[in-house]
Amino acid sequence: MPLTALPIGLVAGMAAALLFAGLITQSPGAVVLALAAPVPIMIASLGWGSRAGFIAAGTSAVAIAAFMGSLLSGVTMLLGSALPAAVIGHMAGLARPRDDGTTLDWYPLSRLLFALLVIAAVTCVVLGVLLGYDPAGLEAAVTHALSSQPDSPISDPQQVQSFVRLVVAAIPFVQPMLTVLTLVACLYVSGAITRLSGRLPRPKDDIPATTTLPKAALPLFALGLAASFLPGMAGTLGAVLAGAFGTGFTLVGLATMHRRTRQRPARGLILFSAYGAIFLLTFPLLAFLVLGVFDTAGKRGADMPKT
């Protein structure tokens, strides 16, 4: 193990624990910082090797458990944020020599995105089990919270119940979406920071040209979408799978837009209009999801490369 891996891992782990502590203590201002907890771990992994990343993940979990005096808090940190960050950082740093022996083949971006979606889905399921996700109990708690507010915009009990059911039903879809976006954003930021420091060996990826998904993602998304209509645990697991892979296909659709508008005179206007519509209306994301599915199903769909 390189001599720098241990101290870098320890420092990165403590930094990640400090960021994550805001979520544990439920401090409103620090919850946003908690979303950036994977960044120090990914930086350690990308710049100083996978060992440093895994040391950082373990250190952050131990620090949170000691700070909170709760083993569950440390396990939540490890499985919900630290370990996924270390694994993704490890995969992003994988490479093998080509046949000519002079250059390296880096882990393909398409396969990295596929792995990230699987990790996000598994993370949400594990956290749900650890934290005791209970739709019925959550529905009752949200209903009580809304009904107890005198200035609530919804006063009719029937409307409150319908609204709460909609919110609770959306959680298994929304949580993996947020997890995927958080991991993707953290990986991008970590890569940019590590590259600026001169410690990132991986060459810069052409993201619009290489962001796609293996065709194996199509049946997984279809399976999750179909299972989400089932009652009980099967429906919840299906929703988590559909939410994670739906977000992945949406990112592929957005990358396709960036790729196809290259060298176009109106590229700036197209991108501005598209993101403006997404920001104001949200539902245009469905169009990019469909575009991502068709892009993957077509000739650009990447086959799973051999290991």
From first to last of its 307 residues, what are the pLDDT tens digits of the chain? 566 889 999 999 999 999 888 766 566 667 778 889 999 999 999 999 999 999 999 999 999 999 888 899 899 999 999 999 999 999 999 998 887 767 889 999 999 999 999 999 999 999 999 888 888 888 887 777 767 666 656 666 677 778 888 888 899 999 999 999 999 999 999 999 999 999 999 999 999 999 999 999 999 999 999 999 998 899 999 999 999 999 999 999 999 999 999 988 889 999 999 999 999 988 899 999 999 999 999 865 555 444 4
Total domains, the chain: 2
What residues contact 85, with CB distance under 8 A and at least 6 apart?
16, 37, 38, 39, 41, 42, 45, 53, 57, 183, 186
Q: What is the pLDDT of residue 306?
A: 45
Same domain, 86 and 124: no
Query: In the structure encoding, which two tokens stand for residue 97, read together?
Result: 């020599």
* Domain end (from 66, 93, 120): 93
* Domain end (from 64, 93, 122): 93
Query: Is there a domain that residue 102 lies in?
Result: no
Q: Could you tell me if residue 305 is left (phi over 0), alpha (psi between -120 and 50 degrees) or otherwise beta?
A: beta
Same domain, 28 and 126: no
Q: Which domain holds residue 251?
A: 108-307
Same domain, 87 and 137: no
Same domain, 72 and 8: yes
Query: Is there a domain that residue 98 lies in?
Result: no
Query: Is there a domain that residue 271 lies in?
Result: yes
Q: What is the pLDDT of residue 234?
A: 94
* Domain end (from 27, 60, 93): 93
Task: Name the phi and psi angles at 41, rounded to 5.
Answer: -70, -45
**Spatial CA neighbour of 260 closest among 248, 281, 274:** 274
Q: Which residue type occupies 280?
A: L
Query: Is there a domain that residue 101 lies in?
Result: no
What pTM does this model have?
Answer: 0.91
DSSP state of 306: P
Handedness of CA 128, 133, 139, 143 (dihedral sign): negative
Same domain, 133 and 179: yes
Same domain, 113 and 84: no
Same domain, 276 and 229: yes
Same domain, 263 and 121: yes
Q: How many whole angstroms separate alpha carbon 11 and alpha carbon 7? A: 6
Query: Is there a domain that residue 103 lies in?
Result: no
Q: What is the pLDDT of residue 299?
A: 62
